[in-house]
A and B are shown apart, each in its own frame.
Chain A
Amino acid sequence: MQHIVSVLVENKFGALSRISGLFSGRGFNIESLSVGPTLDPDVSTMTIVTEGDDRIIEQITKQLNKLVDVIKVVDLTEQEYVERETALIKINTRSEDRAEALRIVDIFRARIIDSTPNTYTIEITGDVKRIDAIINLLRPLGIKNLIRTGRIAIARGEGRNASVRDIPERRSVSR
């Protein structure tokens, strides 16, 4: 089953490759991974979409937690969450296709963010199904380039998040 795992990680040199290295080194699957800053400039959030049975997902979350730079791991799939992905799609548009392209953009409530005589660049945000659907409709017109951000997700309401607000209180360890 597919899982969306949200990971709060120290924004340190090499932290991203530690995480991607963990997945490749242990043969875990990554469908997508997206990284971005949080309210705290020293901390990033990663959203990882992965696939595996319960035992594998348990190992993935434990192994992530074991990485020294990882602050918190939440498997969002265990609760209610919302997810979004953005895609930028550049299509070829000969004159007779331009109207069709506009119609599709309209139906999906997408936006055209760049236009030249022979191309449109379309921006769409939504869940994966929506993005897959528009891609399927645009394909016959000729897609020149497609860039997807990978999915990001957040718990609904009061659900458990990997949020900087949850970073544990300072615990001092002296020796």
Chain B
Amino acid sequence: MKMTGSQILVECLKKEGVKTLFAYPGGVNLPIFDVLYDQKDINVVLCRHEQGGGHMAEGYARVTGKAGVVLVTSGPGATNTVTAIADAAMDSTPMIILTGQVPTQMIGNDAFQEADMVGITRPCTKYNILVKDVNDLAQAVKEAFYIATSGRPGPVLIDLPKDVVLAKAAFNYPESVYIRSYSPNFKGNKWQVKQAVQEILKAKKPVLYAGGGVLASDASKELRELAETAHIPVTNTLMGLGGFPGTHPLFLGMLGMHGTYSANMAIHNSDLIIAVGARFDDRVTGRVKDFAPNARIIHIDIDPTSIHKVITANIPIVGEAKTILKDLNQYLSASGNGVSGKCKPWHEQIAAWKKERPLSYDQGDETIKPQYVIDKIYEATRGEAIVATDVGQHQMWAAQFYKFDRPRTFLTSGGLGTMGYGLPAAIGAQMAAPEKMVFCIAGDGGIVMNIQELTTAVQYKLPIKIAIINNRYLGMVRQWQQLFYDKRYSSSFIGEQPNFVKLAEAFGLTGLLASKVGEVEPVLQEALSIKGPVLIDFRVDEEENCYPMVPAGAAINEMVFADPVGPRPAAEIQKAKKAGGILTA
């Protein structure tokens, strides 16, 4: 029996186990929407802007580990997804983007709502394809899901001309895929793994530096086993948070630009760094030439391009983190855990660092400190929420003060740093995990970048709680301007803002306000007692800064812990600017 391209597409999605589709209709994808209208297996979620839809799919993917799927129309619908696609590419998030396209015979004619999506997204997708023949459609979809979710995950775009989704063909869903030019490497080289074991047995100051790859590989258990058997302290990247329990005694906190003192000191002074699914991002390494000067480096990563890209590894191991960690654990226990006493001074040193400069803030009895809000959200949710953040200071505070014990509970835009990510990602997360508590922690700047998605939350009765950390500034920008631009707050004051409580109400949510310390806890309790979505406007200290901070161009042991006292000498500002103190947040 022959089916139309639209029917074939929907059948393919069902075969791939797609339960939720984030979508927005338009001219050329109406045939697909028409098919979706009659079926019950796929829940179609109407976003209110295609960028929002893209981030929802990312949130969904981050929580489930499966590819998030977006369906949009050609031209503007498709180009609106580009930021989310680039975001997914940077953070290795599996995603399928189905874009409508003008009919094949009109491609290249500047047809109405035509955009060359395959061209536009070539550098920010893992793969993309224009399907020109309905007979190739099923194969293309099968391959797209395989590519998006295997190896280093990423976004794959399928461009679907209108005539292709209307044309008919027999439907045969391929049982397996074979792509001769693509073979993600799964198993690590055993010999290298054995070398790594020798290094671990020798090391006196080892640290595990674990990133997003641990989550992608579902390897938290194996990571924990390695840390516990070999007694190695663990630090996470921003993308890796939740991959190791935040409350574990071996946990050092996040490392890098806004990492903890103990994590950065441990990395800087270590003699062996075991990097697992982490890519030595510049926010982590600081000044590369002074990164961990005395450490040997074991680098475990599924993507060969991650290895030796920034830092030369002594023992590179290409492969799936989970299998490699399993092998490591096996060899280590076979070698009788010869690790016992040798690292004692190292652990004492780390304990001293932890004590010397823990994360801290000074909560007085009037103005709310932003960190206090995160602390209280952590307490109110007993650390069990899925937290999606936006980008800025509040994001860093969330990373520092919410202790993530479980994988796939912290959703954030790390690589691209996309403001506007948080709210739609939270919506996608709640769609993926209806029974979980989902919190969005956003800034007053970023929340308005995809504020329209409040409607989506209301329409689907999603009980997400949105905490706006309202400092009336583009806080992260203001912090840099304070530190490196002599407090010249050029375009970073955003005190002219909507009444967020009324705005929430206008959208059909509950809006709540907290402007004094004493109001924080009751407001959170109230929010959690409400079944539907709630938005809370937390009016916090306007000029609180995020510390510790490794200034751009500094090594990661050169941390700053507090605001400089008095005006900064002009020479120092100049120096900071020269050192690369340009705004890259």
Query: What residues on B are CB-neighbors of A25 within 8 Å?
Result: 123
The chain A residue with its CB closest to the CB of B119 is A17
Mask for B249-284, Cβ within 8 A of A = 1, else 0?
000000000000000000000000000000000000
Contact digits for B301-340, partner A, Cβ 8 Å, 1 yes 0 no: 0011100110010000000000000000000000000000
User: Are A68's CB and B308's CB within 8 A?
Assistant: no
Q: Provide the residues of chain B in CB contact with A62, threshold 8 Å.
A: 304-305
Question: Which of A66, A71, A174, A175 is B305 in contact with, Cβ under 8 Å?
Answer: A66
In chain B, what residue has the closest Cβ to A174? B176
Contact at A173–B305, with CB atoms within 8 Å? no
Candidate in B130, B176, B178, B305 with the most chain A CB atoms within 10 angstroms:
B305
In chain B, what residue has the closest Cβ to A167? B180
Q: A37 at the A/B interface (Cβ < 8 Å)?
A: no
Question: Do B118 and A70 touch across chains, with their CB atoms under 8 A apart?
Answer: no
Shortest Cβ gap from B161 to chain A (Å): 13
Decide if A10 is an interface residue (CB 8 Å cutoff).
yes
A68 touches B126 (CB 8 A): yes
Say yes or no: A170 contacts B180, CB within 8 Å: yes
Measured in the bound complex, the distance between the Cα atoms of B178 and A174 in whole Å is: 8
Tally of contact residues, B, Cβ under 8 A: 25
* B549 contacts partner chain A, Cβ-Cβ < 8 Å: no
Find out whether the CB atom of B308 lies under 8 angstroms from the CB atom of A173. Answer: no
Q: Within the complex, which residue of A58, A68, A170, A175 is in contact with B181, where a contact is CB–CB below 8 Å?
A: A68
With contact pairs A21-B122, A25-B123, A68-B147 given, residues A172 and B308 touching in the complex (Cβ less than 8 Å): no
In the bound complex, what is the Cα–Cα distance between A70 and B281 (angstroms)?
A: 26
Asked if residues A68 and B179 are in contact (CB atoms below 8 Å), the reply is yes
Whether A125 is near chain B, meaning CB under 8 Å from some CB there, is no
Residues in B with CB closer than 8 Å to A68 are: 126-127, 147, 179, 181-182
- CB-based contact B308/A58 at 8 Å: yes
A59 near B176: Cβ-Cβ < 8 Å: no
**CB–CB B123/A172 < 8 A:** no
Find out whether the CB atom of A65 lies under 8 angstroms from the CB atom of B180. no
Q: Mark A1-36, 1 if CB is under 8 A from B, else 0.
A: 000000001100110011001000100000000000
Contacts of A13 in B (CB 8 A): 130
Interface 1/0s, chain A 144-156, versus B by CB < 8 A? 0000000000000
B175 and A174 contacting across the interface, CB-CB below 8 Å? yes
Q: Is A63 an interface residue (CB 8 A)?
A: yes
**Residues of the B chain whose Cβ atoms lie less than 8 Å from the Cβ of A170:** 178, 180
Hey, which chain B residues are within 8 Å of A17, CB to CB? Answer: 119, 122
Contact with B along A63-99 (1 / 0, CB 8 A): 1011011110000000000000000000000000000
Task: Please list the residues of chain A having a beta carbon within 8 angstroms of any beta carbon in chain B.
Answer: 9-10, 13-14, 17-18, 21, 25, 55, 58-59, 62-63, 65-66, 68-71, 167-168, 170-175
Closest 9 pairs (CB-CB, A-B): A174-B176, A71-B181, A62-B305, A68-B127, A62-B304, A25-B123, A68-B182, A172-B178, A172-B176
The chain B residues found within 8 Å of chain A, CB to CB, are: 118-119, 122-123, 126-127, 130, 146-147, 150, 175-183, 303-305, 308-309, 312
